[in-house]
């Protein structure tokens, strides 16, 4: 029986970290009006610090209308590019409203990720090459403060986030099982989300093509449309 593609949530969990890291850094950068070169250096420095991998970035451009355009972003396998390239994207575009930043609110008109490529590998021991990116941080001992039961459920951000449209275009994921030799290609990965919210459901349209290119000839094309609810995430 051929191996199935690993749980899509595990793969997307690693993929989403990259644009979210870029979004956080760019928000800080635009608050203090840094030059494109300084923004580029800040993205590389902070992404490498949090991902514990090498990061390369070709170009960053800023404009009041076009927003922020990041081109040629690459993240290495652990620990550096000598081990290979884990993920990359051709372009990342972010358009936000400037005035809400003064109230610690990020209003995103549009986020677009194009040409996303991710290589997922499962070792003979069953561990994925992105496991270190999604492992929970170690607990801090002797933490006196108890959880605030009155706080709203869901994911916490250091700012208010209003994201009106986010999309992935032309994404590709290569999956390799180093134990069995199975290899899958997920291509034509497209996704669009509107009115993103951590407090209530929001609509998502997505599609992909999956093909087993080694140890089999299975092919499938999937599409999805519906609501995603992140309000119950810890």
What string of DSSP letters covers 41-78? HHHHHHHHHHHTS-EEEEEEEEETTTEEEEEEEEEESS
As a residue count, the chain comes to 234
**What's the whole-number mean pLDDT along residues 5-14?**
53
Model pTM greater than 0.85? Answer: no
Q: Which two tokens stand for residue 166?
A: 């986010």
- What percent of the chain stands above pLDDT 90? 35
Instruction: Return mean pLDDT, the chain.
Output: 79
Per-residue pLDDT reduced to its tens digit, 13-59 = 555 555 656 655 665 555 555 677 888 888 899 888 888 999 999 99
Please state, as a whole number, how many other Cβ atoms lie within 10 Å of the Cβ of residue 124. Answer: 9
CB atoms within 10 A of CB 170: 16
Q: Which helix (H) or strand (E) holds 26?
A: helix 8-31
Q: What's the average model confidence in pLDDT over 218-232?
A: 87
DSSP bridge partners of 87: 75, 118
* Nearest C-alpha neighbor of 228 from the set 52, 8, 4, 2: 8
Q: What is the pLDDT of residue 5?
A: 47
Is the pLDDT higher at 137 or at 37? 37
Q: Report the pLDDT averaged over residues 210-233.
A: 83
Element (H, E) at 30: helix 8-31
Report yes or no: 68 and 110 within 8 Å, Cβ to Cβ.
no
Q: How much of the chain exceeds pLDDT 70, in percent?
A: 72
Which one has a higher pLDDT value, 175 or 151? Answer: 175
Nearest C-alpha neighbor of 177 from the set 112, 117, 228, 127: 127
What pLDDT band is residue 152 in, cutting at 50, 70 and 90?
A: very low
Tokens found for residue 230: 């992140």
Tell me the β-bridge partners of 171: 189
Q: How confident is the model at residue 154 (pLDDT cuts 50, 70, 90)?
A: very low
> Residue 198 class from Cβ within 10 Å (0-12 exposed, 13-18 middle, 19+ buried)?
middle
Q: How many degrees, rounded to 5, is the angle at CA 43 between CA 83 and CA 99?
A: 155
Strands (DSSP E) along the chain, which ranges? 55-63, 67-76, 85-97, 105-114, 117-122, 160-177, 183-196, 202-214, 219-228
């Amino acid at each position: 029986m051929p191996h199935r593609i690993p749980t899509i949530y595990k793969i997307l969990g690693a993929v989403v970290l990259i644009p979210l890291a870029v979004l956080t850094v760019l928000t800080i950068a635009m608050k203090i009006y840094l030059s494109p070169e300084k923004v580029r250096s800040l993205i590389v420095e902070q992404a490498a610090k949090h991902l514990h991998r090498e990061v390369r970035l070709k170009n960053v451009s800023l404009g009041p209308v076009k927003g922020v355009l990041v081109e040629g972003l690459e993240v290495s396998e652990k620990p550096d590019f000598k081990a290979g390239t884990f993920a990359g994207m051709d372009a990342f575009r972010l358009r936000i409203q400037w005035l809400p930043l003064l109230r610690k609110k990020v209003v995103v008109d549009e986020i677009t990720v194009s040409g996303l490529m991710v290589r997922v590998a499962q070792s003979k021991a069953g561990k994925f090459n992105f496991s270190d990116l999604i492992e929970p941080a170690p607990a801090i001992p002797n933490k006196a403060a108890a959880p605030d039961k009155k706080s709203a459920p869901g994911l916490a951000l250091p700012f208010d986030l209003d994201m009106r449209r986010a999309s992935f275009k032309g994404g590709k994921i290569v999956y390799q099982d180093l134990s069995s030799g199975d290899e899958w290609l997920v291509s034509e990965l497209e996704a669009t989300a509107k009115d993103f919210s951590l407090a209530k459901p929001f609509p998502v349209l997505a599609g992909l093509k999956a093909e087993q290119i080694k140890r089999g000839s299975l092919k499938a094309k999937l599409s999805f449309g519906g609501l995603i609810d992140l309000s119950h995430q810890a």
